[in-house]
Structure 1
C-alpha cells in the first residue's frame, strides 16, 4: 500500500493501512501518496496521453479522469471516417477504503494503459467506505456508465467507440467492475448507445467467512495477508452482514442469475491473477463459476508475483496492458 513491498509480518492491519477508525464510524486516512493533476492541454504536442477531470455527481462528489491517447488527436482522417478507440471504464483498488483516481500510481497506470492498447480510459472516482459502505461504490460505478451515455464531453463523443466498451478494475476495483457488470446487464437497453463487450477483472478482491487454501498458504503475506483483507471487508460491507454476503463472496447460492444474462449478451470475462496473491484461489473460484454459467472466459494466472505488483513494476504493468489489449482485440466480433 505504501509504494514499497514490506517484508515484516503484519500484526496490526490499521497501522499497516495507516488508518484510524473514529468513534463516529469515519476513517482518518494517514496514507499520503502523491497526487497529480490532470493534463488536458499539450501546446507543444509532446505528451503521449492527455487527461482531464469531469464531474459526475456533485451531491456525492463523484468524478472521473479521462485519458486520451495523443494519436487520437493526431488522426488526420475526416470526422466521418475517423477510427474511434475502444472505451475502458476503470475502477481503482484500495480495499474500498483508500485511494482516488488522481493518486500518482493510478494516474500513471491508466495513462500507460491508454497509450499501450490504445484506448480512451475513464477512471472513476467513487465514494469510499466506511463513510459510504457497499453498495455505494457499485451505485457510483453504474452511475458513471449512465453519465457516459448522456455526456456531451468532446473526448468521449469524438474519440471513444461507445459500442466497444469494457469494464475493468484492479483489486477492489475488480470487485466493483464485476458487480457493476451484473447490474449493467439488467439495464443494458437503458445504457444505449453504450455497449459493453466484456469485463476485465485484475486480481479482483473477493473473500468469504472460511479461509481458502491460498489464504492459509499465504497467511503471513507481506502485502495483503487475510487479516488486512478482513479489516477492509469489515469496514466496507453493509452493517450486520458477514463475508459470505454476495458482495464479498459471489459463489454463495450458486452465483448471480445475472451471469446468465451476461452469457446471453455475449460478454467475455478476463480474470488476471498470480499465485503469489492470497486471493488467487478466490479468483479461480470465480472463474469456475463464470465458466459454469457458460460465459466466455479467459484465465491469465502467472507464477509468483504478489497483489498489486503492477503498481510498483512498470514492466509488469505493461505486460498486463498487453493482455488487456489482446482481450479487447479478441472481443471485436462479439455482436
Structure 2
C-alpha cells in the first residue's frame, strides 16, 4: 500500500477477525471478478505552466491493449530553466504502487504527496507504472506489465525521459505489493541483463514489500488483528491475486521458494543490483521482509536494511526519504 493503506481511508470495522471483503469494501462477483465499492479519487496529469505546481506530469501509453501506461513526474525547474546549458539529468525511479495487487492506480490522488516528497527530497524523476490489477488479471500479469514498462522506458521514446532522466542511474521501487513487483521485475531484468544496457538498473528499493507464505510468521501471528492491515485481509489479497490453484508457498508470494531460486539470486548479484529493504516492526509482514533481506545477503547481494520501530503497514517512516537518498547517492 502507499503512505496510508487503502483500508485506512474506509470505515473502521472491528479488528477482531474482521470480514476481509467488508474491511476492504469489496464485493465478490460470480465470474471471479470483484466490485471495488470504494472509489479512490484520481488526479489528472498536468503540464500547465500557469499552475503553481512544483512538478509537471504526463501519462504516456505503453500497451493500449492492456491499458497500461506510465505517469512521469518531472521537477518544474528542469523545464523552466533559462540557461543555454541544460540542467544535469536526474536519477530515474521506476515506481510500482501498492494496493495488494487489487486496488489503486498510478493516478490515485492518495499517491501524489508521496511522489512529490520522493521526487523533491531525493531528488529524482519518477515514472510510475499503471499495471493490470487482480483478480481480473492475476499474477504474473503485473510482473509482465512491469518488465514491458522497463523495455519501453529503455528506448526513451518520450522527450522528458530522453532529455532529463539519467537512464544509466535507474532504480526500481515499490511499496507493499509494489515492492513485491519491483523485486520480481528486478529478478527478470537481472536475467535479461544484456537487454538492459541502455537502462542501467542500479538497485531495487523495496518499501514494506508484500511477501508471505503458508506458514505464519511470528509477526503475522502477533499482529493478526492489526487495524490497518489485518491478516485476513492480507490473505484475501493473495487469494485474489495468485494464480488459480496455488497456495501462499508459491514463489510470487513466498520469495524463499521456487524453481531456480539460487540461479536467480546469482543473476541478481552478477547484475550488480543493490537492494534496499525498508519496513517497520508494527507491520505484520516485517518478519518476511527481514527474512528476504537475510537471504539476499547470504547469497552475496549487497543489501541495505532500514527497519524502524512502531508504525504499521502503509505508514511512511520519517527517515525513509533520507535513506533512499543515501542509497541512490552511494551507487
**TM over 0.5, yes or no?**
yes
- Residue in 2 aligned with 1:113? 118
Equivalent residue of 1:66, what SS? strand
Structure 2 matches for 1:300-311, cutoff 5 A? Answer: 300-310=306-316
- Residue in 1 aligned with 2:250? 245
- Say whether 1:71 aligns with 2:74: no
CA distance in 2, matches of 1:217, 1:25: 32
- Residue in 1 aligned with 2:26? 19
- Residue in 2 aligned with 1:136? 141
- Residue in 2 aligned with 1:51? 57
Unaligned runs of 5+ in 1: 311-315
- Residue in 1 aligned with 2:3? none
Structure 1 window deviating more from structure 2 (222-231 vs 246-255): it is: 246-255
Structure 1 window deviating more from structure 2 (35-44 vs 132-141): it is: 35-44
Equivalent residue of 1:309, what SS? coil
CA distance in 1, matches of 2:314, 2:262: 27
Tell me the C-alpha RMSD between the 2 structures. 1.7
Q: Per-residue deviation at 1:77?
A: 5.2
- Say whether 1:265 aligns with 2:278: no
- Residue in 1 aligned with 2:43? 36
CA contact (8 A) 2:18 2:230 kept: no
TM-score by length of 2: 0.93
CA contact (8 A) 2:57 2:71 kept: yes
Unaligned runs of 5+ in 2: 1-5
1:288 to 286, 291, 294: 294
- Residue in 1 aligned with 2:108? 103
| Deviations 1:72-93, CA, capped at 9 Å, x for gaps | 22445545x6410000000000
2:211 to 182, 203, 206: 206
Q: Per-residue deviation at 1:107?
A: 2.4
RCO (CA 8 Å, sep 6+): is it higher in 1 or 2?
2
CA contact (8 A) 1:66 1:120 kept: yes
Q: 1:77 to 1:251 in 2, by over 3 A?
A: farther
TM-score by length of 1: 0.92
